[in-house]
Structure 1
């Protein structure tokens, strides 16, 4: 618990809430209910183990802050996330109701653990430690099975390493919702492309065969798509997108939008994780992804 004044409000509340939800307790020394709720809030801050930050503001001493939040009675608690108030309550609520309030807004223990594991996995990747990254991503998925971002990163990394069977095992719990979650659908399209080439004994000969078919008929979209899938299977992403663009330039809606959907899947797969930024800021975009997004827009909208 931290006592906040106008001097440290920016750092302890606004900036801190960019990383962790901040619960502001407006109180005063003469307030009886404040003395009841104060120890409950401090107890919960300990129990939640860093999932939210508790600060206290003496509304008598810090009237400017109290007025800024429109405080009319105390105790009043206001929760901030990403620098903005998102919810609050007045009065000395019982512990159970305060926990219910917090649970609506703060991450679960599993989500916090998963986020830490994801960050550690990205650090391991930056250091070239693939096995360490896989292990931390497995831990993230175990801690928060609904964390689709962690699962996406895990399956993607396993596929990049050629561990297709393990990737399929990791993907199995979410396969039913792949059609409704675009990034999961993108992984499935990549796995489908790899499966389609699994029985190709000689990829170079197969590529030559497809090239000949396309040379004979530039509108042989089945051959073009098969060529794109073959390139996808071997992670030749830009060449695969170039081939898909050839289809889109000739028939935007071919095979129920198959070329466009596969192109978007590749963009999802090759896009690196975006760094966290403050609300209102836009993270930098990978130049290859940005270029191929523009190319897709140019073709689709033409």
Structure 2
């Protein structure tokens, strides 16, 4: 649990929520219900073992932050993901109801396995795809397995197969960050396919950008074509160019596309021995930092 003020709000809440859901507890020293819910939230943070980060904001001491979130009564608890509030509740709810609230929004906990190896033997791409395809066929309702399968197809350049495999869960994209990411990359593939030869299309966008560096439609189109070519870092570099000039352009389209690429290219975490923390992929970690530095600047 971290006490947040105006000075550390950007780092501890906004930036942190880009990689981990952040639960914000607005409280005050005189508030009786706050003293009831506070220990429950701290217990749940420990129980959920890293699935979310808990921070507390004293609404009396940090009135500017309380006003920014429209706090009218306390305790009020708000969950942020990717820099945006996604849900919240007021009052000292019982632990069971808070668990239900968290379980609606938090990523699934990793399954524990007996005799966990330090690291799995790497599989070749074909064997991994076959394994994921089998998992989806065995349990079509397993959205996590389907996410990994569609993601693997996209990374392999099998855009049509990815689109077909994604179709059964397309309607859930609006309520799932991971499925939304897949949909955005699939839409980028469709856009690129509709434009013609990639080299000519990129040259056309380059010409427009050369004439007007704030031609965000051209930059966004160029990024989508690059993503369809699996030139992931080039695509994110182009999206950063938009964000550096207009962070909220087109209802956050550039930031959302950037985050979608990160979701798709981030490798599955390797299994490690108890007490060890799996390392972050260096490319993903670098581009997460670059996004945070631009968005928070």
TM-score grouping bracket, smaller chain normalisation: 0.5 to 0.7
Rg: which structure is higher? Answer: 1
Q: CA RMSD in A?
A: 2.8
1:251 correspondence with 2:237: no
1:239 correspondence with 2:227: no
Q: Deviation per CA, 1:209-244, whole angstroms, max 9, x where unpaired?
A: 111111111110000000100100000011111110
d(CA) in 2 for partners of 1:180 and 1:281? 32
- Give the aligned partner of residue 283 of structure 1: 278
Q: Of residues 186, 192, 199 in structure 1, which corresponds to 2:194?
A: 199
- Give the aligned partner of residue 161 of structure 1: 156
1:146 correspondence with 2:141: yes
CA, structure 1 residues 115+192, in 2 after alignment: closer, same or farther (shift >3 Å)?
farther
CA, structure 1 residues 274+141, in 2 after alignment: closer, same or farther (shift >3 Å)?
same
CA, structure 1 residues 279+175, in 2 after alignment: closer, same or farther (shift >3 Å)?
farther
**What count of residue pairs does the alignment treat as equivalent?**
186
TM-score (norm 1): 0.56
CA, structure 1 residues 145+123, in 2 after alignment: closer, same or farther (shift >3 Å)?
farther
d(CA) in 2 for partners of 1:240 and 1:200? 17
- Give the aligned partner of residue 295 of structure 1: 290
d(CA) in 1 for partners of 2:242 and 2:229? 20
Higher relative contact order (CA 8 A, sep 6+): 2
TM-score (norm 2): 0.57
- Structure 2 stretches of 5 or more lacking a match? 1-46, 50-110
d(CA) in 2 for partners of 1:197 and 1:245? 20
- Structure 1 stretches of 5 or more lacking a match? 1-80, 84-113
CA, structure 1 residues 133+158, in 2 after alignment: closer, same or farther (shift >3 Å)?
same
Q: Of residues 186, 189, 199 in structure 1, which corresponds to 2:181?
A: 186
